[in-house]
Structure 1
């Protein structure tokens, strides 16, 4: 089971980059690029989408005609439901134009995920939450360590079979039992003092991958591996991590 990966050791094979900078030139171009412009500027962005200044959303499915109110920003779409928050901490879930949930947190929510009746969220105060949507009941509220800055790339929680993996803003991942909301363990990805948010969190097969801006960690049933780099972005595909580094490699 995927939930057992945290009881095992971690694994990942990373390919080293050449020290010589290389540039790619395509040898075959099949068509011209289509250039278009947005109908407003981007006022807020996350890994899962962006909010334009007119309230229009950019999701993973493209530009959406639906719009948020002036003080809301988009966090992501899950199971056909859109999650948004305000800077004051009012979180809203909508399904189409229908309101599913409104909940007032003590601080802004910076990332969230939904599975069935459960909402997992991370706040700007580095608190993780688990909330039951049908009753609007918070069954877990836990403050992790101090965090002095936030990154727009902050990852969203990941639901697995019986657990939820939460990112934090201080370089850790938290493992929570889905049914009870009990924290069962945590793991340190990086221990930097500043800008140590978990910017990437994903699962493929029995492997879990997490990263901050300075370190990548992999968990699998075989072993653990880490790599330290200045990381700009990450892509996971077919068991391989592709990292775009700040030095251009």
Structure 2
């Protein structure tokens, strides 16, 4: 009986594995990778950058030669100042230490005002000049989060705080009062804000399940299972879990879309056209007008950590510039 149970279990396991399906394009091209090495592997990353195993970091400015203090990881780079955290109770703004008594998961600096999102889902504004907390608000605790946590956004005389429970809290940068509470996603478990940007005076924000657009007092909301989201000019590009790559305008109206059966997209980037890195070792390239596409063979281990900024994609210990 024991041997029979083992045999049945093995058959069930084999059947489950054999049914797993992968993206397998028929016609592929050779990719001229022309990659360049990074000094170390990526150890961790967020929406605004990555920390390397040797203590250096990657931001939208590229790979920095600056080394973070031991035990600290990169959060953001604003106004030439490096913000890092010990993922416990302190952050550093360059060499200035700030005791937070909780782990900071996202931060943005403007004119010596530091906007923070904490792991307990509290948000705060801190004045670096006199060391005072100008604003702090506690929100509902979030037990599970996507690691692509968006950072606060300074917009004119407003601070937009993305929360871990799917909201955007709009705070006045003049009197530090809450002006508006925008709900992006109140339903899903992993509903922290993973993307926050302002495109042509229109707020674009997304969780892993929903995306919203707020402009001219009009709210648009769409539901997608998102793998990645980027903007280029006034166009928004989405990669979904079911293998779709979608182009929308800033009101989230679908302009074009393509479906790649069983594709698992890791990251999007934009050079002169759109690129999507696929988990089974392919790079999908779609023209800006979505009329033509090319699929390249691309050496890639899906265990590698990936982050992209503009036309540059960083993969583990190397990077490539995409045309």
Same fold (TM over 0.5): yes
CA change 1:246–1:128 in 2 (3 A) is same
1:102 equivalent among 83, 94, 97: 97
- Structure 2: how far apart are the matches of 1:239 and 1:51? 30
From 132, 141, 145, the equivalent of 2:140 is 145
For 1:222 and 1:186, the matched residues in 2 are separated by 14
Q: Deviations over 1:166-221 (max 9, x none)?
A: 10000000000102221112011011241111000010222101100000000000
Alpha-carbon distance between aligned partners in 2 of 1:63 and 1:243, rounded to the nearest angstrom: 26
CA contact (8 A) 2:167 2:183 kept: yes
Q: CA shift at 1:132, angstroms?
A: 0.6
Q: Relative to 1, partners in 2 of residues 1:59 and 1:25: Cα closer, same or farther, differing over 3 Å?
A: farther
Contact 2:87 2:105 in 1 (8 A): no
Provide the residue aligned with 1:70 in structure 2. 70
Q: What corresponds to 1:117 in structure 2?
A: 112
Contact 1:54 1:70 in 2 (8 A): no
Q: Structure 2: state its 5+ residue gaps.
A: 1-22, 245-323
1:237 Cα offset (Å)? 2.3
Could you tell me how far 1:114 is from its partner in structure 2?
A: 0.9
Q: Which segment drifts farther, 238-247 or 226-235?
A: 238-247
Counterpart in 2 of 1:245?
A: 240
Q: Counterpart in 2 of 1:83?
A: 83
Distance of 1:68 and 1:162 partners within structure 2? 31
1:184 aligns with 2:182: no
Q: TM-score with structure 2 length normalisation?
A: 0.65
Matched residue count: 222
Q: 1:223 matched to which residue of 2?
A: 218
1:156 is paired with a residue whose SS is: coil
Q: Distance in 2 between matches of 1:70 and 1:149?
A: 27
Shift of the 25–215 alpha-carbon distance from structure 1 to 2, 3 Å rule, reads farther
Pick the structure with greater CA Rg.
Answer: 2
With CA pairs under 8 Å and 6+ residues apart, which has the higher RCO, 1 or 2? Answer: 1
1:127 partnered with 2:122: yes
How big is each residue's C-alpha offset from its partner over 1:81-130, in whole Å with a ceiling of 9 and x where there is no partner?
11001111211111xxxx3x321112111111111121101011111010
- Give the Å deviation of 1:26: 8.8
**Distance across 2 between alignment mates of 1:172 and 1:130:** 17
Residues 91 and 103 in structure 1, CA contact (< 8 A), matched pair in contact too: yes
* 3-state SS of 2:140 partner: coil
Q: Distance in 1 between matches of 2:37 and 2:186?
A: 40
Matched, 1:56 2:60: no
Residue 50 of structure 1: how far off its partner (Å): 0.7
CA distance in 2, matches of 1:79, 1:191: 33
Retained in 1: the 8 A contact 2:184–2:210?
Answer: yes
What stretches of structure 1 of length at least 5 have no aligned partner?
1-20
Shift of 1:22: 11
Deviation at 1:40, TM superposition (A): 2.6
Distance 1:188 1:66, change over 3 A: same
Return the offset for 1:160.
1.1
- How far 1:150 sits from its partner (Å)? 2.2
Q: Distance in 2 between matches of 1:183 and 1:87?
A: 27
